[in-house]
Structure 1
């Protein structure tokens, strides 16, 4: 299983220092054409990036004979796989929810997201909706969704399975995949390439920061982006000067 492949803290820290744009470029170079969760946006602006291991949760449509607990809020959590998932998410993990891209009811709200944050989770990602959007926007916690809604989850969703392969925004997510996000969105990184992707992405980010300074100073695209031999020599000199 991919979860048995170790991912070091150094790798995770490097991934935190690069953008989703850089990550998708490096994934594309390796043949992964679409690992970006299109359409999902962060509610909070109080963080720059986040990284964590995927803990998956899968929803199916609700049905009246199976989801008839709306009148008994005191016991709703006792037989609820959604509650179980929240209580099993470990420190540093990201709860990734397959809501079938259906935003008519919330995948979670302020209470569950706060519990995730207090347990040390790195974030929550759903291809559906979240409720309590105003409160979540004020929290220092990565929470991504397609929409916000006031409708409660059992109106349209039933939590049916966790820690299984899921689809989120039409991207396959396996338990243990590495989830990385910034203010632009979220990328899914297959665990077995996380280390090499982190190294190459970090290098690309350093190089492009240098190239941006040249473009910003008036240099033409040709010979700068992508860099020609002369520009690469300038970059190497810059790295030595900066000690990076």
Structure 2
């Protein structure tokens, strides 16, 4: 069985607020905390019509395949960690695969992703490729990858670990970290920072929506509109109060 990681549960309102915040806004708030790059660069949603997701990381780590171990006969074996990982997913978790940014073979296909959907996963992510892209694009489970390929995982990858720290698209992901996805991509929020930044991020999201309406109305950025001056922020507060 994969290691069990005990985490302090996050308040449900933290996750609810994160669902209302874009990856761009979260990137800015994380930068303010000193984290320069938490976005999984190069990954795209296979179904861009889905709004996004929020969930806790369940990690899987690949190493290069070896011909005597990674065979078709190995798939039904009890030591197939990929099958075990999917069957170990819990409600609200996100499968995150470290494929070493290698798209030479698929990290998973429709069977595993569909099973993850029915296990209660909120997303399935790799920094490599998926197969059966046309099927995954039709599922209600968000999937993110660099590419789509028909090549089986066995040609390139061996599943070495579950629920260990990994690198995905060059970003460190620890089991239990919070992943947030939208139509632009996915960002990793360290679990301990999520409660600290969520209110500021939601306020920034609302402020930028307000500023966008003014820019869209033809106002120039210079003169204190963006970045907003204190006068502009006060106008935002009055606008927000009038809408309450």
TM range (shorter): over 0.9
Aligned to 1:32: 35
1-structure distance, mates of 2:179, 2:230:
35
Aligned ranges 1:69-108 → 2 under 5 Å: 69-70=71-72, 72=73, 76-108=76-108
Say whether the 8 Å CA contact 2:49–2:183 is kept in structure 1. no
Q: Report whether the alignment pairs 1:161 with 2:164.
A: no
Q: Distance in 1 between matches of 2:98 and 2:228?
A: 41
Shift of 1:4: 2.0
Residues 1:23 and 2:26 are matched in the alignment: yes
Shift of residue 158, structure 1, vs aligned partner: 0.5
1:48-197 equivalence runs, <5 A: 48-67=51-70, 69-70=71-72, 72=73, 76-197=76-197
SS at match of 2:137: helix
CA RMSD, 1 decimal: 1.5
Residue deviations 1:117-143 (CA, integer Å, cap 9, x gap): 111100011001100000111111110
Give every structure 1 segment of 4 or more consecutive aligned residues whose post-TM-superposition deviation is greater than 4 Å: none
Alpha-carbon distance in structure 2 between the residues aligned to 1:121 and 1:77: 23
CA distance in 2: counterparts of 1:6 and 1:212, whole angstroms: 35
In 2: Cα distance, 1:48 partner to 1:18 partner: 11
Taking structure 2 as the reference length, what is the TM-score of the superposition?
0.95
1:82-133 CA deviation, whole Å, 9 max, x = no partner?
0000000111000000011111111110000000111110001100110000
Q: Please report how far the alpha carbon of residue 229 of structure 1 lies from its aligned counterpart in structure 2 after TM superposition.
A: 2.4
Please say if residues 3 and 175 of structure 1, whose CA atoms lie closer than 8 Å, have aligned partners that are also in contact. Answer: no
TM-score (normalizing by structure 1)? 0.95
User: Aligned pair 1:217/2:209, yes or no?
Assistant: no
Distance, in Å, in 2 between the alignment partners of 1:3 and 1:43 is 32
The answer as to whether partners of 1:54 and 1:177 remain within 8 angstroms in 2 is yes
Q: Which residue of 1 aligns with 2:205?
A: 205
In structure 2, list runs of 5 or more residues that go unmatched: none
Aligned twin of 2:49: 46
Deviation per CA, 1:188-238: give whole Å up to 9, x if none: 000001012211110100111111111111111021111112212211111
Structure 1 position 181, deviation (Å):
0.6
Deviation by residue 1:49-72 (Cα, 9 ceiling, x = unmatched): 2100000000100011222x32x3
Checking the alignment, whether the CA contact within 8 Å between 2:81 and 2:160 is kept in structure 1 is yes
Count of residues in correspondence between the two structures: 240
CA contact under 8 A between 2:178 and 2:190: conserved in structure 1?
Answer: yes
Rounded Cα–Cα distance in structure 2 between residues aligned with 1:2 and 1:51: 19
Uncovered stretches (5+) of structure 1, i.e. residues with no partner: none
Report the Cα distance in structure 1 between the residues aligned to 2:76 and 2:176, rounded to whole angstroms: 29
